[in-house]
Amino acid sequence: MCMQTLIIGYGNRLRGDDGVGPAAADIVKSWRTPGVVILTVQQLLPELIDEMKHADRVVFVDAAVSVNESTFSTNIVEPKKSRRSLGHHESPANLLALLHDLEHRTPEAWLLTISAFSFDHGEQLTETAANNMRAALAWIRAWLGEQTCTKSA
């Protein structure tokens, strides 16, 4: 049986490199990998739990201001409640905590942050962010390769 994988690319496509998460998700979607569902959203919202509850593993893909020489980073995400009183978006850890509270299950989860530099108005990624995205896509392809899922005949 195939592991169900959910990839959520999030960020604002109208703010330069902040759109690198959705751009990466669009490319992964074009691969048409069996057992993989792709979502692109501007921000993380509790409604995503409806899709997350069916996944065995989830990867959140987002932009991050580069603070070192790395092109991207990956971190395991653990459920952690972090309710903001006036927040308009969620964190990956809080979504996992909400999912656990509602469905009594927690998928394996990762946060993939791609180093970004410009968050100015505009839809264009910087050349550096685009290169960093390509490196992150290589990681995603290898990570997806860890699952044994083939198309049904």
The answer to whether the beta carbons of residues 7 and 25 sit under 8 Å apart is yes
Mean pLDDT of 10-31: 96
Beta strands in the chain (DSSP E): 5-10, 36-41, 57-65, 72-76, 108-116
pLDDT at 61: 98
Q: Which residue has the tokens 């593993």?
A: 57
Structural domain boundaries in the chain: 5-145
- pLDDT tens figures, 61-87: 999 987 677 899 999 999 998 765 444
CA angle 110, 113, 114 (to 5 degrees): 140
pLDDT at 152: 45
pLDDT at 144: 92
The answer to whether the beta carbons of residues 97 and 148 sit under 8 Å apart is no
The three state secondary structure string of 35-57 is CEEEEEECCCCHHHHHHHCCCCE
The rounded percent of the chain whose pLDDT value lies above 70 is 90
pLDDT at 153: 38
Interaxial angle between packed helices 127-145 and 20-31, expressed in degrees from 0 to 180 and rounded to the nearest 10: 40
Fold of 5-145: Rossmann fold (3.40.50)
Q: How far is CA 84 from the centre of its chain?
A: 21
Mean pLDDT of 83-108: 83
